[in-house]
Amino acid sequence: MPDEQLLSVRDLRISYRTGTGEADLVRAASFDVAPGEIVCLVGESGSGKTLTGRAILGLLHHNDRMRVSGSVVFGGRELTGLPDRSLRTVRGSQIAMIFQDPVAALDPVVRVGEQVAEAMARRGRRRGRSRVSGEIADLLRRVGITDPELRMRQFPHEISGGMCQRIGIAIALAGDPGLLVADEPTTALDVTIQAQVLDLIAELRRERGLSVLLITHDMGVAARMADRILVMYAGSIVEEAPAADFFVHAAHPYGLGLIRAVPRIDIDRPGRLSAIPGAVPEARNRPPGCAFHPRCPVRLDLCAEEEPAPLRLGGQLVACHRAADMLTGRLSLWDSEAPVG
């Protein structure tokens, strides 16, 4: 079915050359995004989510120490290894990106309207100045900015963070892309603005059939937005599942751990909020076998020795030796432990 996919990433590997050798930051990540689909890439900080998003747009190959291999196919076209000149025809008009820090993503010394105009101008159409400014105003209005004529003339420091993110979305939409890579777009915003920005993204998907690769560590955001979930841990995608399945029965202990770590008010859950003990291992100190095993409550001896291969179970694709047990519900995890006093 790969023909139906808008974006197909296969065996994406990102490694970083250090003084002592190479460290794999992303290992053989493979996933697809279908037209009009919102796919959430979730995981803790340091698991390689952002790098994956940036690699899709070819943002890493200027870094001499970074090596990217594998295949990124967008709309039937292979993007990896393309020179900047060719990537430019993809960036903006086919794939666009918004960022975690919306203020830093805007140039502080250029007026907001000009930055939007720049993203529009690249389409190479020659238009009158007033028509361009009318188009910018329309676009800004489209992303929910009131009084766009005023905002256009302002500098980024004169407007709020939430509005900066809306501008960022406007810039991303200027080229009418098919895929939006949204790298933690709401992390830097406060909760009410978060909801507005997420609603805007969902709305754009509905209206334009925009596909979204939403990178987030916030399971609440993922639950709200996602059609499909990709769970990333230490540079590998350990679980891929339709959102409906994932939040009901995550098949990877890490995925389940992420869900359990979110406070809920709608279900009664006794004891302390569970956290996954420990932290994501550094790329250079990746544990042997399953990278998650030192933190895993249901590990077997096997887990330390052999890296589990991705296994398809129903709609879910899981890289875990205990995935079958997880799904049959024979394993209980952190919440079975006695509340720590």
Partner 1 sequence: MTADSIGTRWLNRSALRTWRVPHGRVMVVLAGLFLLLVIGWAAFPGLFTGGNPTAVNPLATLRAPLQGYLLGTDQYGRSVYTELVYGARPALEVGLLSTLIGGVIGSAIGVVGGYLGGWVDMLVMRLIDILLALPGLFLALIFIAALPPTLENEILAIGISAVPGFARVMRGQALQVRSRLFVAAATVVGVRRRVILWRHVVPNCAAPAIVLGTLNIGTAIVIAASLNFLGLGPSAGVLSWGGLISSGQGYIDHDWWISTFPGLLVTLLVIAVSVLGDRLRDAMEPSSA
Q: Which of 294, 273, 279, 278 is nearest to 340 (CA)?
A: 273
Output DSSP code: residue 19: S
Is residue 93 close enough to count as binding partner 1 by CB under 8 A? yes
Per-residue contact flags (x/-) with partner 1 for residues 66 to 85, judged by CB under 8 A: ------------------x-
Task: Give the number of other CB atoms < 10 A from CB of residue 250.
Answer: 25
Radius of gyration for the chain, computed over Cα atoms and rounded to the nearest angstrom: 21
Q: Per-residue b/e over 198-237, b at no fewer than 16 CB within 10 Å?
A: bebbeebbeeeebbbbbbbbbbebbbbbbbbbbbbbbbbb
Among 96, 221, 226, 313, binds partner 1 (CB under 8 A): 96
| Sign of the alpha-carbon dihedral angle for 246, 248, 253, 258 | positive
Out of 41, 79, 171, 323, the residue judged to bind partner 1 by CB under 8 A: 171
Three-state secondary-structure class, residue 211? strand
Q: How many chain residues touch partner 1 (CB under 8 A)?
A: 34
CB 152 within 8 A of CB 136: yes
- Interface pattern 173-212 for partner 1 (x via CB under 8 A): -xx-----x-------------------------------
Q: Does 104 bind partner 1 (CB under 8 A)?
A: yes
Interface stretch with partner 1, choices 57-65, 197-205, 228-236, 303-311 (CB under 8 A): 57-65
Q: Is 169 in the site for partner 1 (CB under 8 A)?
A: no
- Interatomic CA distance for residues 30 and 7, integer angstroms: 11
CA dist., res. 70 & res. 72, Å (int): 7
Span near partner 1 by CB under 8 A; candidates 37-45, 51-59, 131-139, 330-338: 51-59
Nearer to partner 1 by Cβ, of 40 and 116: the residue is: 116
C-alpha to C-alpha distance for 231 and 323, rounded to whole angstroms? 14
Region near partner 1 per CB under 8 A, out of 55-63, 146-154, 268-276, 317-325: 55-63
Minimal distance in Å, beta carbon 225 to partner 1?
21
- Pick one of 44, 101, 203, 245: the residue that binds partner 1 (CB under 8 A): 101
Q: Which residues bind partner 1 (CB under 8 A)?
A: 54, 57, 59, 62, 84, 88-93, 95-97, 99, 101, 104-110, 114-115, 118-119, 122, 168, 171-172, 174-175, 181
